[in-house]
Amino acid sequence: MTPRLRLQPEAIGVGMTSQRVRDRLIERLRGHGIADERVLNAIRTVPRHLFVDEALATRAYEDSALPIGHGQTISQPWVVAKMTETLLAGLQPRQAGEAPPKVLEIGTGSGYQAAILAALGLEVHTVERIGELLRVARKRFRALGLRVRSKHDDGRIGWPENGPFDAIIVTAAAPALVDALTDQLAAGGVLVAPVGGGGGQMLVRLRKAADGSIERTELAPVVFVPLLSGLID
Ligand code: SAH
């Protein structure tokens, strides 16, 4: 995987978004068990303050979820780090010159998680049901020079035409794992998703073996907005 991120001058940021503030977040993530240097480096490099409203930019490098409008949130950096680390660890090793792993994200939101995955050199496909959020996220991908394939749709159907995927990451919670998504996971692939409803959510990892059998592991309690049906402009 080749890291790719072209930072425009306006993306570099000033003051409260300084490198020192970002480094403090990285140290915090390390202290909370995130060890994959590729993930820490992507979080250090991708300007999270550009994925939230300007009024919230001063809080962008705190380890907390923040509102992004339409009742939705950008996930807490630790959750992004944990999901990304789990996903990378679950990918099959690639040969030099081989195409990058294909990842499907459900719930583009601000576009931050997709940007982290793209910055890590993965081929990212992302689906969002709220058109306005997707439009803003696409502008961010463009401004950062990141290639992310995206569509406005109900992510519970996945993206069958572009599958199967080496990894699937779901960033909104459903009471149970969605079969259509598990079906679009390649053999040897990994899926990470929050599962649960009112009684609490768990971050779950699924691994699909070469023979199609599935191993399920619970990773940590989390809080995500719900996976909903229907499209909104
Ligand atoms: N990954 C996002 C987190 C966004 S919050 C980020 O990095 O900012 C979860 C997102 O999932 C919301 O934007 C919500 O609109 C979206 N969502 C909820 N149900 C969905 C569905 N069925 N299909 C696609 N997106 C969905």
The percent of residues above 70 in pLDDT, for the chain, comes to: 93
Ligand 1 geometric centre to CA of 128 (Å): 6
The region, left, alpha or beta by phi > 0 then psi within -120 to 50, assigned to residue 108 is: alpha
pLDDT for the residue numbered 138: 98
Mean pLDDT in residue range 35-59: 96
pLDDT band at 18 (very low <50, low <70, confident <90, very high): confident
- Going along the chain from its start, the domains and CATH numbers come out as 9-222 (3.40.50.150)
Look up 110 and say whether it is catalytic: no
Q: Whole-prediction pTM value?
A: 0.94
Q: Which amino acid is at 122?
A: L
Alpha-carbon gap, residue 193 to 177, rounded angstroms = 8
Best residue among 48, 130, 170, 181 to mutate for probing ligand 1, ranked by most atoms within 8 Å of CB? 130
SS3 171: coil
Ligand 1 geometric centre to CA of 88 (Å): 21
E strand map for the chain: 66-69, 72-74, 102-106, 123-128, 148-152, 165-170, 185-195, 201-208, 214-222
pLDDT for the residue numbered 199: 84
